[in-house]
Every structure is written in structure tokens, then in C-alpha cells.
Amino acid sequence: MTVKEYQSGARVLESAESELLPDNVNVPGCPPGHMPYTLQPIRRNAKMICFHSIWNPFGGYGNVKKMLEGKSTEEIKIRAYGWAERLEGKAFPKFNENVHVVPQEKVPESGTRYCSVDPAGSKNWFIKWYLVDNLNRVFLYREWPPRQQYGEWALPSDKADGKPGPAQTGLGLSLVSYKKLILKEEDGEEIHRRIIDSRFGGAEVPSAKSGMTPIIMLEQDDLDEEGNEIVPGMVFFPAPGGQIEDGIQGINDMLDYDESKPVSMMNCPRYYISEACEQSIYAYAEYTGLDGLKGALKDVIDPDRYMFKDGIHHFDPVAFAATGGDAPDF
């Protein structure tokens, strides 16, 4: 494996002070003025160690410091701290697994639930479920297909956003089968709103009667030959359109916090990802957008773009409940 393949999606475990880069957040996951020391790659049976020049008693650290005077930050990271910086910029520079990723048991049990779907033709759909708590914090708590069962959605490669992984291989599911899958995953959860890519959802289905679209077909009850319900209808709203860049900015707004200060109730992101959602964690660590519409990681990001642009909020049913009183006199 290459250095890039090990470093892709790696999480910082330990960091150390970086004398030559003292002020800024040099690598996501490190405090200001630190550089990574040990990292956990996606491969759980591997570890990465970055050797800092200052620790080498025979390396002449004083000469290294002098040599690096006036050099670029990139060169200092490589030569003084053993850190190979990616040349292509990441779409989500504030994403920090130590901040944005939470244990599954830390996801609140109650809140307003949403579902967002990025469908595909020959590939599997990518589906996400969110919960918004009463502080309007958003938790991604489930995704399909999960890496633990279907493998990686994308794998490292020489392309900026990787190459397709085994989880993209289509299972040949029909609309009815996807409805069954969604209902099984939700297991009785009350979903406030579901959205789906508007281009797919609003496209006329050639094999169906005139005017039928996937959104209409998903909403219909599916019956057997005797008229008994097989799968109930499922309402989906078309996701808002717009430029991909606008959606990326919306996600970055949700991830934003001041990295130079401790995380607190006054300084924290609004978007969190359960540790169970490994496809999304990898995508947020690695996605650049440079591969455009064909990027292997784009499908994992799209449901979030749809959802945050559509609007996702905590909904208190008690606040909107009807109260007693006289009927208006018209």
C-alpha cells in the first residue's frame, strides 16, 4: 500500500508540540501548535507513526531547524515532522474525527428524525437517517449500505476521490424492495420528512403509465394480486436543486467551530456523525470534489447536501398542538 492509502481517512491518536509550526492548527485532529505522532488508518490492523526530527539524537536537529528557515509549511511538515501533506485540498477542512464523530450511545434517543436518499441507476442507493435534538444539533445515526456489512463505498486510488468500492455494486433492488429495506431499518421510527434527489424522483418512468415518477410510485401502497397491502406508501419530497458548491458550503457551516479554542456549548459544531457510520466518516475525511460528478465519494456526501439545503430542524409537536378555546365567530 502507498502512503496515501494508509493516510486516507486516518484518525490522529497522539500529537506532539511542533516548535517550527507553533501557532496554527496544522493538521485536523491536532491542537494548535501540534503535529501528528500516531494515527489509526482505516485498516484497523495497522498504525501510522510520524517521526519528528527533534526526537532523533543523531539527526542534528539544530541543522534541520537552520535548513528549514524560510521554507514552506509543506516542506517543514515533511522534513521536520514526517507528515506528507495532500496536494489536493479537502472539501471539509474543519472536519475532525475527534470532534465530529460520537459514540452511537451518545446519539440522543428522542428528537426529530429525517431520511435523505441519493438514488442511482446500476449502483446501490445511498441512504442516511438523521436525528435533530432540542438544541438543533444534527446527528447522523444510520447509513445504508454500512461498511461493516457491504464493504467500503470508496477505496483510495490515484484519483482525488478514490475509486468505487464493493458497497457500490448494485443489488438489483426495485422501488418496492427499497421501501421494504427502509422500513426494516427504521423499525417503527417516526420519520418527520424524507427527501430524494429531485432529478431521479421527478423523472418519468418509461415502463409505467404516463406521468408516473419514482416519487409517485414510492408514495403508492403496493398490493398483491388479491389487493392485500404488501408495503405501505412512503412519502418523499424532492430535494432542492442548486450548485454542488452551495451544498458543500452548507455542510461546512454545520461543521464549523473555532479550532483554536476548547470545544464547549458556546463553541461546537451543529453536525455530528455516529461512529457506526464509517462510510460517511471516511468521506468527510477524504472528499475533495475534484473528480466532479463521477467522484467515488460524491454519493456519500449528496444526502447531506440535500438535507441541509432543504432545512433540518427540531420539531416540537407539543408546541404545535391544538389547544382548547372557542371557535372563531365569522
Q: How far apart are CA 129 and CA 111, in angstroms?
A: 12
Domain boundaries, the chain: 3-81, 97-310
CA 227 centroid distance within chain: 41
Percent of the chain with pLDDT over 70: 92
Q: What does the pLDDT look like over 110-122, one tens digit per residue? A: 999 999 999 987 8
Q: If you average pLDDT over residues 77-106, what whole number do you get?
A: 88
Measuring CA to CA, which residue among 176, 158, 133 is closest to residue 270? 133
pLDDT in the model for residue 208: 58
Residue 140 CA: distances (Å) to CA of 81, 236, 274, 289, 303? 34, 19, 6, 21, 11
pLDDT digits (tens, 9 = 90+) for 152-207: 999 988 899 999 999 999 999 999 999 999 999 999 999 999 999 999 888 887 76
Concatenate the DSSP letters of all residues of 273-327 into one string. Answer: EETT-HHHHHHHHH--STTGGG-TTHHHHHHHHHHHHH------TTTTS----PP
pLDDT of the residue at 292: 92
pLDDT at position 128, please? Answer: 99
CA dist 145 and 167 (Å) reads 7
The confidence band for 239, taking pLDDT boundaries of 50, 70 and 90, is very high
Mean pLDDT for all residues in the chain: 89
Fold of 97-310: Nucleotidyltransferase; domain 5 (3.30.420)
pLDDT, average across residues 68-90: 85
